[in-house]
Structure 1
């Protein structure tokens, strides 16, 4: 994206302040932010998204596809397991990647989903030239949804599965994804799941970690989506709270949970089978997820992913963006009110470096937004 002129920047900033504070001057955006699509040359659906900086990002999606850019999305190269090895199997070429984490242009960990051994976790330390298979699922009852790594200790990561024998299943790594170990529900003390309760492998953000705390988002079981929490870096999971997002059927609930610090969090979701319904699609917490409040103004429909970014206006740190198949929204007050700014389809969103956000989704769509 071309640099923004000072006058244009000031106009946009003033507009965002008006939107965030509810100033009676105009009450509307003078200049709407816009996603800039990048030429991925792909038609795959990318639900896995891992930006490292304004220039470097990874996406992971259908048909075994993993792409990487190091020039802000101007060019992308295919670096998935099936691209890296002459001995790759047809199964690797058909894997459905739903989540990816990355720390540089070299290091990344990717999660694929599906029945049996189609659920796998790969890692690379050479930019995708080669991949290590760290985990292949052998339990037909397990279905893995999301992965996350500690912000302070990249060697420590966790992966969540839908409930097995009545409890959400967790895997843990202490070597940055090279190997994974099952953590039993007896070890974690995680509360019992409701009948039909599950996670959503929609954006890689149904599992979250911040400030030494971990959070797991769910849906699919009445009356509402829930957030399970660990206050001791994932050792024990002894609390679960209901959110304000309804979950009266298998397609409803919390699809994304994000915290900007130990106290302030947001949840977004809704019903993926009714993507234009706006009621009950977001909520917020200012007490570490002990209680969740419904937004006063909801996003413009079902939203599958959300991310915090550094806002251009006060209150500092209270800005976030949410995406879904019917559009994108901003909040400048910690999730209390949301404002639609784009109608393009995306599944996942992540922001890095304060004011650089990336989004990815269907038909090869990957875009960048600069503030």
Structure 2
């Protein structure tokens, strides 16, 4: 049984997860928070669940015929509209969309390139979104949508910097690619001799890239990005084969990802972290989760304190005012709602 050790800012709120049983053993790496009441999760064996009552009840809204596929990302606009990504080589990478709360789904993209492997999707708004694939012929591949995920167009790679040897993205929590205001987006990598962060300001047509001081390796790198705005962001990661170790596993940026500052080991999360997100109600508070625990930072990622030692893969927050909420999801059907 996981322990709750509430983390608290000086004179501020404490944080803990309230588990909301889903009744399934699927591993949910895909997570979309809409509000404190509405969330979607997606995972193994083609499984998609949805709640509209704060996790009291979860509804199985899995697409028909997707049982052999692995969902790794889901993006939801509200309680009825969502877009979900399955991962894998070739045609296993697909995108589905629903407009009726998961009663029916349409397959809107199927990868036909055997070299491509899509990891993450992200939306700037209800129309504009991107999907990111591992390198094909030496460059990361981007597919873009301008109609809310109803159709996708693979983008030319002329504006994409070359990939490093062994470099790829991690389909661990749906946050290796994140979207910001306007047409801004970032994606993070690992696998090479150093992790990197790519940035676009024009909806995926042109990208710049920056090296990160975090650790990289065959199973290591940046697994998750979180940005408060176009300038202020955090990156977390580590080595997924060493979940309780964290060597150079967190960093922060104040210039939109152009440069990154390493978080010292004594201030960083104590283990590999696969997901991160800023909370809506505090400009400097960010949550990170992984298989060995959850951490909170009250200073924008410069220092972290663990408040939960159970396992989660993903975390996402959304909503405004009294409707704001944060959710986490992971193995064996685990879903938690943040209490603060």
TM-score band w.r.t. shorter chain: over 0.9
The one of the two structures with greater contact order (alpha-carbon pairs below 8 A, sep at least 6) is 2
Residue of 230, 253, 256 corresponding to 1:262: 230
Q: 1:146-205: CA deviations, max 9, x gaps? A: 00001xx3111110000000000000111111111110202xx11000011000000000
Match of 1:309 among 260, 268, 279: 279
Q: Select 2:27's aligned residue among 45, 62, 67.
A: 45
Whether 2:295 is the aligned partner of 1:334: answer no
Deviation at 1:50, TM superposition (A): 0.5
- The answer on whether the counterparts of 2:156 and 2:205 sit within 8 Å (CA) in structure 1 is no
| Aligned residue in 2 for 1:109 | 83
Counterpart position of 1:325: 291
In structure 2, list runs of 5 or more residues that go unmatched: 1-5
1:69 corresponds, among 26, 47, 51, to 51
Question: 2:173, 2:313 within 8 Å by CA — same for their partners in 1?
Answer: yes
Larger radius of gyration: 1
CA displacement at 1:93 relative to structure 2? 1.2
Whole-Å separation in 2 of the counterparts to 1:325 and 1:348? 10
Distance 1:287 1:80, change over 3 A: same
1:276 to 231, 236, 244: 244
SS at match of 2:195: strand
**In the alignment, does 2:316 pair up with 1:350?**
yes
**5+ residue gaps in structure 1?**
1-11, 20-30, 83-87
Q: Equivalents in 1 of 2:293, 2:248: separation in Å?
A: 16
1:221 to 166, 186, 192: 192
1:18 CA displacement: 5.8
- TM-score by length of structure 1 reads 0.86
Q: Which residue matches 2:262?
A: 294
Q: Does 1:240 align with 2:209?
A: yes
Looking at structure 1, the residues matched to 259 and 33 of structure 2 have their Cα atoms a distance apart, in angstroms, of 31
> How much has 1:211 moved relative to structure 2?
2.0
The match for 1:4 is none
Give the alignment of 1:138-149 within 5 angstroms. Answer: 138-149=112-123
Moved more, 265-274 or 288-297: 288-297
1:32 offset after TM fit, Å?
A: 5.0
> How many angstroms does 1:370 deviate by?
2.7
The runs of at least 4 consecutive aligned structure 1 residues that moved more than 4 Å come to: none
TM-superposed deviation, 1:232: 2.6
Residues paired across the two proteins, number: 329
**Aligned twin of 1:24:** none
- Structure 2 SS opposite 1:273: coil
Deviation at 1:306, TM superposition (A): 0.2
Offset from partner CA, 1:35-89 (integer Å, 9 cap, x none): 111110010000000011111110000001000111111111111112xxxxx3x
1-side partners of 2:255 and 2:153: how far apart? 31
SS at match of 2:10: helix
Q: Is the 8 A contact 2:226 2:235 kept in 1?
A: yes
**TM-superposed deviation, 1:351:** 1.0
1:199 aligns with 2:199: no
What is the distance in 1 between the residues matched to 2:135 and 2:229? 28
SS in 2 for 1:63: helix
Asked whether 1:362 is paired with 2:340, we answer no
In the alignment, what sits opposite 1:16? 9
* Structure holding more helix per residue: 1
